[in-house]
Amino acid sequence: MSEALPTWRDDWALFLDVDGTIVEIAATPGAARVPTRAIPALATARERLGGAIALISGRGLADLDRMFAPLRLPAAGAHGAERRTSDGRVHFRPDAAPLAPAEALLSRWAVAHAGILLERKRGSIALHYRNVPWLEPAARVVVAAAAAALGPGYHVQPGKMVLEIKSAEVRKSRAIAEFMTELPFAGRVPVFVGDDLGDEDAFEFVNALGGHSIAVGAERVTKARWRLSSERQVLRWLEAEALPMRALS
């Protein structure tokens, strides 16, 4: 994996994770803030790429729109359980009703352990232990038990101080694949920037298409071919590549 980045090209289709990639991770999901400078950088990147830019996030679409307002980009929310195309149409995968038993179990456990945050999404449920990191071993046990009770259609996706039970049908790689069949993404070179274990399937997917995979943050074993050290460096990269185009126009 190299810190030198591929040269920006106008035939890219750019896909960006949000938390840990554009936005610094906060104590709770609701406390995270998009840097003010990111909005014009993303808007200009969209202009340069002919609209071929999308957010690929674990957050829901409504949350993404609130955070990035007034910008409203194509996006895959909840890891792809909900997806908005470039023409504004929204596609939903069926919400996973079988998650209800797992949610009930984890809700009881969260109530009994102060500092645990339980987040319900379309197609997944996430248990955050960022504010009580010493509870990680116990959290892993209870989440594994909750997932096992749901059957083989669900698995646990570990993240940064979070454990998420989600449908095996919901994957960031699948969301990117769907975008790549549609205009303005079709026929372009896919580029995905992400930071977490949940992004690895998307790294692998864009690699297979001959695209570029960029990991953000601490060095770890990853399928990404390139690296940026932090969210701030991602923003500098976007500004350096996209914003000069406006000055030249």
pLDDT value of residue 95: 59
Look at the block and give the residue holding tokens 């957050």.
59
- Residues 169-212 have pLDDT tens digits of 788 999 999 999 999 999 999 999 998 888 999 999 999 999 99
Q: Which token pair is 38? A: 């990111």
Rounded CA-CA distance 69/202 in Å is 26
The residue type of 216 is V
17 is catalytic: yes
Continuous segment of H or E residues that includes residue 61: helix 61-68
Asked whether this chain's domains 12-92+170-248 and 99-167 adopt the same fold, the reply is no
Q: Which residues of the chain have pLDDT under 50?
A: 245-249
Rounded CA-CA distance 83/97 in Å is 19
Q: Report the chain's mean pLDDT, rounded to a whole number.
A: 87
Selecting from 3.40.50.1000, 1.10.10.10, 3.40.50.150, 3.30.70.20, what CATH number does the domain 12-92+170-248 have?
Answer: 3.40.50.1000
Rounded CA-CA distance 12/9 in Å is 6
Q: What percent of the chain has pLDDT over 70?
A: 93
The 3-state DSSP composition of the chain as helix, strand, coil percent (nearest 5) reads: 40, 25, 40
Q: Which CATH superfamily is domain 99-167 in?
A: Trehalose-6-phosphate phosphatase related protein; domain 2 (3.30.70.1020)
pLDDT value of residue 243: 57
pLDDT value of residue 3: 58
pLDDT value of residue 2: 53
pLDDT value of residue 241: 76
pLDDT value of residue 247: 44
DSSP character for 236? H
- The answer to whether the CB of 32 falls within 8 A of the CB of 208 is no
Rounded to 5°, the CA angle 141-142-143 comes to 95
Q: Which token pair is 134? A: 């010493």
Burial 220-231 (b: 16+ CB within 10 A, else e): eebbbbbbbeeb
- The answer to whether the CB of 84 falls within 8 A of the CB of 75 is yes
Determine how many CB atoms are found less than 10 A away from the CB of residue 174: 18
Rounded CA-CA distance 117/122 in Å is 17
Return the SS3 of 126.
strand
Which one from 10, 17, 19, 199 is the annotated catalytic residue?
A: 17
For the chain, the domains span 12-92+170-248, 99-167
Alpha helical stretches, state H, 128-230: 136-150, 172-179, 200-208
- What are phi and psi for residue 165, nearest 5 degrees? -95, 125
Determine how many CB atoms are found less than 10 A away from the CB of residue 59: 23
